[in-house]
Amino acid sequence: MFFPTIRLMIVLFFLLVLISQPNISDAFDYNFEGRLRSGAQYYFEAPRRYSDYDREAELRAGVLGNAWKKDDWKVDYEVTGAIRHSGGPSTQAGLDKDFDADFFRAWFRLDNDKFKFRGGRQRILFGAGALYRPLGFFDTRNISGVVPQSIGVDGVLSSWHFDESSFIEGWAVPAKKDDKVIVGFRGERLIAGWETGVAFQYHPATDQIGLPNYNLDLTQLGYHVKGEYVAGFWNESRLDIEQNGSEKPIRFDTVIGADYTFPVGAGLHALAEYFVSTRDRTFTWVDRTNQRTIHQLGFSLDQPVGIEVVWRVFGFYDIRDGSFQLAPQIEYALTNRTFVYFYGR
């Protein structure tokens, strides 16, 4: 393989630290962190022979901190494992595993403020969109779910920061298929007060089924702009050029969004996005309706009520077929570390 496995990278990292630090007590500072999440969903009309309940429990635990520091250079790290059990219709249909244990995050980073290099299982996530993420090359979140987090990918990410608002970065992620590698780069800076970024990625077909477009061989180009004038505004777009065959069909995704916090109660935050996706007829796509162009509206509302309760509502409307999805959510803080969520869809 072009890349060592994630476990080998972690072992080599800790061996390097141990060798370079004669006194192990001076090698690390660390913090233990963890999260226990458990929940269930009830289906009013579950398919025959399927359970009425989807249930899930997950435990994440790990350490993060600094491993080494000299002059302006430092090495920090995070190693977090996750154990997850689920059951119900999703498991019965083969859409989910009943048990899984793996690293959630496992990376180390070399950093001197201007130059950063991070290797291991990490989150690679950027762009301006909130509900729709055309530039979410590695985004696996269910954005309307409870505490959405991207699973992360195994790879390397390197960046150079010119100042606080301008930088370039590049990444490489093994595709785990025919020893191919997903590679990309992006740059970002402020232009007339607007956050502006451009991105490029070569995405060969991969065995990583959880990633967007995992089965397609693509060249991807994109940009985003984001600014604020009374309200917040943004636009994020991506062009996909399929590399299979001689026709090189394309697909274009774009989202335009805005948000504003109204002076109602403790603040009513409203967000809306308009998403368009269109593709050539020969672009590979699995869609039962065979629609070449998709128009969707998404919105979210959230507002704190006192210091213990936050309510949220997510909505998605397909302009072409008229379908609508609503996902209300209530967050209740039992303590500063324990939260209960009520969620529907």
Which one-letter amino acid corresponds to residue 192? A
What ranges do the domains of the chain cover? 1-122
Q: Where are the beta strands (DSSP E) in 268-323?
A: 268-279, 293-305, 309-318
What's the CA gap between 105 and 64, in Å, rounded?
Answer: 10
What's the CA gap between 117 and 7, in Å, rounded?
Answer: 18
CB 119 within 8 A of CB 174: no
Each residue's pLDDT, cut to its tens digit, for the chain (345 residues) gives 444 555 556 556 655 655 555 554 455 688 999 898 888 888 887 778 888 888 889 999 999 999 888 888 999 999 999 999 988 877 877 777 888 898 999 999 999 989 999 999 999 999 999 999 999 999 888 787 777 888 889 999 999 999 989 999 999 999 877 788 999 999 999 999 999 999 999 999 888 877 888 889 999 999 999 999 999 999 999 999 998 777 889 999 999 999 999 999 999 999 999 999 999 988 887 665 677 899 999 999 999 999 899 999 999 999 988 999 999 999 999 998 899 999 888
Rg for the chain, CA atoms, rounded: 22
Half-sphere exposure of 274 (CA within 13 A, CB side): 5
pLDDT for 114 equals 94
pLDDT for 43 equals 81
pLDDT for 2 equals 47
pLDDT for 22 equals 52
The token pair at 127 is 């762009």
The token pair at 345 is 């869809």
pLDDT for 24 equals 47
Q: Give alpha helix (H) positions in the chain.
A: 6-20, 89-92
pLDDT for 71 equals 84
3-state DSSP of 23-56? CHHHCCEEEEEEEEEEEEEECCCCCCCCCCEEEE
pLDDT for 220 equals 97
pLDDT for 60 equals 92
pLDDT for 12 equals 61
What's the CA gap between 271 and 134, in Å, rounded?
Answer: 17
